């Protein structure tokens, strides 16, 4: 098995049928529970490792019902309907509750498909940005999973002063795995969740916040992932509405050549 911390974290033990076991990896710890992106990738791994898989991921939705505890979880990835070229999946993660009975910690769905070459284009050009080589790597101490990424913000840095003076919610940055790792669907699913809560930027105020639901659409196929290799991705994320405890966050990811790889959306709980 690969010794890369990403591969270690998404490793599952197949128990047969639609059932797996896995364990949150301490290298991906967030403030409470693991980084949501690695949990999303672990759920998707249940689809990709399934013997009945048809095609490649097109859509993934995960809902975080509770923070994962440090111990083992069980994952069910069920191909509930297989059509000629698309396949529909349900996802569920459970962990034992206080009484030892399984409690749901994640729900989700995925769609995979056999993709065929068609007309296509990107209608959202990658914004102009300086190359990553000349930019400083963001260093934030105290949150372990942030050490798993080389993030180089271009716009919308984490506020240096929490003074309530925010004016927008847009972050643009280069990002790649540390150590470098060839891009695949799993790492792309994780990277879709690397943007810190937009409410922190919009208000320059650090309030408690956590993702409730995350949906990612994969525009990349295997060939485009292979072309992206170990290069940086360029990502941007922005909030559209902040209201009564929840805001959304819309994100786009391109490879270094400016090809769009994924679009992603999430809704995030916030306090105050």
Q: Which residues contact 7 (CB under 8 A, 6 or more apart)?
A: 1, 181
Which residues are paired to 270 by β-bridges? Answer: 209
Interface residue list for a second copy (CB under 8 A):
58-59, 61, 63, 65-66, 80-81, 83, 86, 88-90, 92, 103-105, 107-109, 111, 113, 115-124, 168-169, 198, 202-203, 212-213, 215, 217, 219-221, 238-246, 248, 250, 252, 260, 263, 265, 267, 269-272
Nearest CB to a second copy, comparing residues 53 and 267: 267
Residue 249's nearest CA partner among 156, 110, 177 is 156
Nearest CB to a second copy, comparing residues 34 and 79: 79
Q: Min. distance of Cβ 215 from a second copy in angstroms? A: 5
Q: Min. distance of Cβ 86 from a second copy in angstroms? A: 7
Q: Min. distance of Cβ 5 from a second copy in angstroms? A: 29
Nearest CB to a second copy, comparing residues 83 and 130: 83
Nearest CB to a second copy, comparing residues 2 and 84: 84
Question: Which residue's entry shows tokens 């297989």?
Answer: 82
Q: Min. distance of Cβ 21 from a second copy in angstroms? A: 19
Contact 25, 34 (CB under 8 A): yes
Instruction: Give the C-alpha distances (Å, rounded to integers) separating 269 from 28, 37, 56, 64, 113.
Output: 21, 16, 30, 11, 32
Q: Min. distance of Cβ 210 from a second copy in angstroms? A: 10
Residue 112's nearest CA partner among 51, 18, 47 is 47
Q: Which residues contact 9 (CB under 8 A, 6 or more apart)?
A: 24, 25, 27, 28, 34, 38, 41, 42
Nearest CB to a second copy, comparing residues 8 and 107: 107
């Amino acid at each position: 098995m690969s010794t890369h911390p990403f591969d270690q974290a998404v490793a599952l033990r197949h128990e047969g049928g639609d059932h797996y076991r896995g364990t949150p990896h301490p290298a991906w710890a967030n403030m409470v529970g693991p980084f949501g992106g690695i949990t999303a990738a672990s759920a998707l791994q249940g689809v990709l490792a399934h013997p009945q898989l048809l095609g490649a991921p097109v859509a993934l939705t995960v809902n975080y019902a509770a923070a994962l505890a440090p111990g083992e979880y069980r994952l069910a990835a069920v191909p509930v309907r297989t059509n000629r070229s698309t396949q529909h999946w349900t996802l569920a993660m459970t962990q034992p509750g206080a009484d030892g009975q399984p409690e749901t910690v994640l729900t989700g769905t995925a769609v995979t498909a056999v993709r065929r070459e068609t007309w296509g284009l990107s209608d959202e050009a990658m914004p102009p940005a300086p190359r990553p080589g000349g930019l400083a790597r963001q260093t934030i101490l105290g949150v372990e999973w942030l050490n798993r990424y080389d993030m180089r913000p271009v716009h919308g840095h984490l506020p240096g002063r929490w003074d309530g003076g925010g004016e927008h919610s847009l972050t643009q940055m280069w990002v790649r795995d540390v150590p470098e790792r060839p891009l695949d669907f799993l790492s792309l699913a994780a990277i879709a969740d690397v943007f810190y809560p937009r409410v922190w930027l919009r208000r320059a105020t650090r309030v408690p916040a956590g993702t409730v639901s995350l949906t990612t659409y994969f525009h990349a196929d295997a060939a485009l992932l292979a072309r992206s290799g170990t290069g940086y991705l360029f990502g941007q994320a922005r909030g559209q509405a902040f209201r009564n405890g929840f805001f959304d966050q819309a994100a786009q990811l391109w490879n270094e050549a400016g090809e769009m790889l994924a679009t992603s959306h999430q809704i995030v709980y916030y306090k105050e």
